[in-house]
Each structure stands twice: as structure tokens, then as C-alpha cells.
Amino acid sequence: MKILILGDQARYEKYMPVLPFIRQQELVFLDKSSSLDAVLAAAPDAAILFVDAITAVPAEWIQALPQLKMIHSEGVAYDKIDLAAARERGIYVCNNKGCNAGAVAEQAIMLMLMLLRHGRTGDLAVREGRQMEVKERYMQNGIRELSACRVGLVGFGDIAKATAERLAPFGCEMVYYSKHRRDREEEERYGVTYLSLEELTASCDIVSLHCAVNDETRGMVDQTFLNRMRRDAYLINTARGDLVDNEALRQALLDGKLAGVGLDTLAPEPVTADHPLVTLPAPVCDRVVFSPHLGGITEASFRRAHLHMWRNAERVVDGHKPDDIVNGVL
């Protein structure tokens, strides 16, 4: 059976599990930015499609591949895949749910600590010979410990839960918001308290985004959301850039309505040098810490994800239902 992979061949080969099934398939590799014409020229009869988590798979592609049985995201995100078009044809759309939860949780906490401990400005100060100047300033202004913060988790899926588990030893208070409140046993297990989104944003020292992108959440961090936050609060986004209204966040930073922001992801991606959050003037830019969307791309995460993908492919080829179907195909 033909499996079309829109992704870096070297990466797939590095993380490819040792499964006899794989050697029995015909693998076709194309760049993730390939056109539909290139796809049809290389693998018009593909039965399985592996794609990067941010690669678009529109209805046109789904309709043009008559033998397609499954589309699998290499990551957790799948919002660029036309779920309805795939569902109409009975094509499974799957993701790697939870594969990178621990890795992204580590990234979120790193960004929290970078902001609280002024990692960006501190590093630069030492390099420029201004160590004592900056040290004296922060001794005067004060530095908050993570243990003294109330951390609000917006969304409470796998990554938020992993974040809560890793935050627990710091001793900080943790609250969460999700569309559906968890039961008391789950809240006690993770040491979290439920708050409405309005209460959470208004009361937390750190607001950390952990929700998927959909019609309800796209652009949720808008002027209203940001105006509710405390002026000494921090915003963390290791989820998706599409959750944030870039112009609203830029203006909030310019107006001094936030203490700082830690962003592992921005929209659109790839991020350009003229992005409104990248072009913040000094000294506002010192209150922003970026990382290049690498929270979930650890070696361990990739090994878990790729093993799951290939096992799901084997299930489909054998006529069985795959795991982690996200488009409701039964």
C-alpha cells in the first residue's frame, strides 16, 4: 500500500520504529509545501497521508485522492485539515494525542521562569558588562518566585494536566478553566481549582493557554480578555498562535497592561521579521520571550508520535479502526 509523507525524509527515517509492516509498504516522500499537482504526480493512489501538524489538507486534496483511507497529523494539532470533507468520504483523520504533553509542559514552565527571573534581560546584561546594574535594579524592584504565583490554565487537556503535575512541586496555587468542568476526583488529583474564564484572567499572576484552536477559541485572547488581566500578570502561549489577536496583544504591551509575555507559538507560521509582536520597540520588547515553536519537538516526543502513526497505519491497512480519530468517522 502507498503511504504519502509530506515531511522531512531524514526526520522520518531517524524516528522510524522497527516494524516489519513498514518495509512492506511503498513510502513516497514530498516536501510539506508541495502542491496538489505534485502530490497527484507522485502518489495519486495514496491510501495514507502523513502531514506536519501545520500543513493544510483542504477538501480539494481529499476529493482528488480516491484511495485515501487515513490522514494523520505528525503532531497534536489538526485544524488545518478539512475534517468535514474527510468525514464525508469516511476517511479517518487522526492525531498524536498526548505524545508531546510533557515536553510542552516543560516549555511552558521554562517561559514562566524566564519571565519571572528576567532571563532575557539578565543574560544580555551579563554579556554587556552590566551585571551589577541589573542586579541592583531587581533587588530594588523585587522578583516574584513561581511558588508565590497563582497560575491559571486555560484549557485542561493532556498538556495542561502535564503542566499542573510539573508545577505542583513549585508550590504555586493552580486554577483552571475549560468548557466542561472536571469532576472533583480529577481536580484533586492535579491540585487544581475551577474558575470561570473571567475569574481566572482577572485573578492570576500567570495565564497559560492550553486549548485547541476552533471556531470558539480562535482569537480568544482579544482586547476584552487582555483588559481583564492584571497589569502585573504574565501571558504564556505554548498552544497555538491563532488563539491570540496579535494587534490586541501588541497594544496591551505598548500600553503597559501586562508584565510580560512568553510565546512558543505565533500566527501566522512561519513567523516573519515584520510580525507585530516581533517588532515591538525597546524597552517593551524586553518583556517578551519567544521560542521557535519547539516545545513539543523533543526526541522522546517524536519517537512516541512516529510509533503511534505507524501503528495506526498498520491498523488501517489491516482493516481495523485507528486510535485517536478526531473527525468522528466510526
What are the domain boundaries of the chain? 2-99+299-317, 101-290
Query: Choosing from 293, 304, 306, 308, which is the catalytic residue?
Result: 293
54 — pLDDT class (breaks 50, 70, 90) = confident
Q: Does the active-site annotation cover 303?
A: no
Which letter, b or e, does each residue of 138-154 get, where b requires 16 or more Cβ atoms within 10 Å of its Cβ?
eeeeeeeebeebbbbbb
Convert the pLDDT of each residue in 61-70 to its tens digit.
Answer: 999 999 999 9
Catalytic residue (choose from 189, 269, 299, 320): 269
Q: What is the CATH number of domain 101-290?
A: 3.40.50.720
- Confirm whether 231 is a catalytic residue: no
Q: Omega into 66 within 30° of 0, i.e. cis?
A: no
320 is catalytic: no
Judge contact between 1 and 48, C-beta under 8 A: yes
pLDDT of residue 201: 98
Q: Which pLDDT band holds residue 314 (cuts at 50, 70, 90)?
A: very high
Catalytic hit among 120, 240, 250, 308: 240
Domain pair 2-99+299-317 / 101-290, same fold: yes
Give 2-99+299-317's CATH code, choosing from 3.40.50.720, 1.10.443.10, 1.10.10.60, 3.40.50.1370: 3.40.50.720
The string of pLDDT tens digits covering residues 250-283 is: 999 999 999 999 999 999 999 999 999 999 999 9
For 33-46, the three-class secondary structure string (H helix, E strand, C coil) is CCCHHHHHHHCCCC
Reduced to 3 states (helix: H, G, I; strand: E, B; else coil), residue 325 is strand
Confidence of residue 222 (pLDDT cuts 50, 70, 90): very high
Average pLDDT over residues 207-228: 96
Residue 138 pLDDT > 90: yes
Question: Rounded to two decimals, what is the model's pTM?
Answer: 0.91
Q: Is the torsion defined by CA of 271, 221, 252, 292 positive or negative?
A: negative
